[in-house]
A = this chain, B = another copy of it.
């Protein structure tokens, strides 16, 4: 349960509303941890109860009021504490891979079709990450270096996925040849 900590990480740099955070989750941090806006609002509520964040009401004209959250001392303490203890390895839950594992049931053509859909998604992500990495101006600043490394992680991940997809294609083709020649 480190949605909490992901939020605290974001709040470190700047005061932000739930809405702001949700947008950032959709981009930057979403690369390593994703969450919907409902989850974020809920978690902000809990963090507030535990005095790890506080907010001020900002009335706006035209737009609805907003709550600008900032991290407190307790919040920072909690974050530091969390950073110190080892992180559990991420648990893997990949539905598409379950399909591959049970692939002998479906026919190869439908697998290939879905493979291409997934590959499109990965290619899209790859482009996004590469764009963002290119736009990082000063790579030597502390903050940017870590953002850069995070992006690199995403890039290498997508690339590995796409390479795997290439292997799948050629294996399935090989298989086709075998069966038609028998």
Contact = CB atoms under 8 A, between A and B. Distances in A.
A145 B175 contact: yes
A48 interface: no
Contact of A164 (B103, B106, B156): B156
A156 B164 CA distance: 7
Which range holds the interface residue count of chain A? 35 or more
Interface stretch (A14-22, A57-65, A89-97): A89-97
Interface of A is mostly: helix
B2 A146 contact: no
B80 A99 contact: no
B97 A32 contact: yes
A109 interface: no
* Protomer copies: 2
Contact of A100 (B102, B105, B146, B156): B146
A83 B90 CA distance: 25
A54 interface: no
A171 interface: yes
Given A98-B2, A114-B87, A164-B156, A149 B103 contact: yes
A152 interface: yes
B150 A97 contact: yes
Contacts of A28: 101
Interface in A21-55: 28-34
Interface of A: 2, 5-6, 8-9, 12, 28-34, 79-80, 83-84, 86-106, 110, 114, 117-118, 121, 140, 142-143, 145-150, 152-153, 156-157, 159-161, 163-164, 167-168, 171, 175, 178
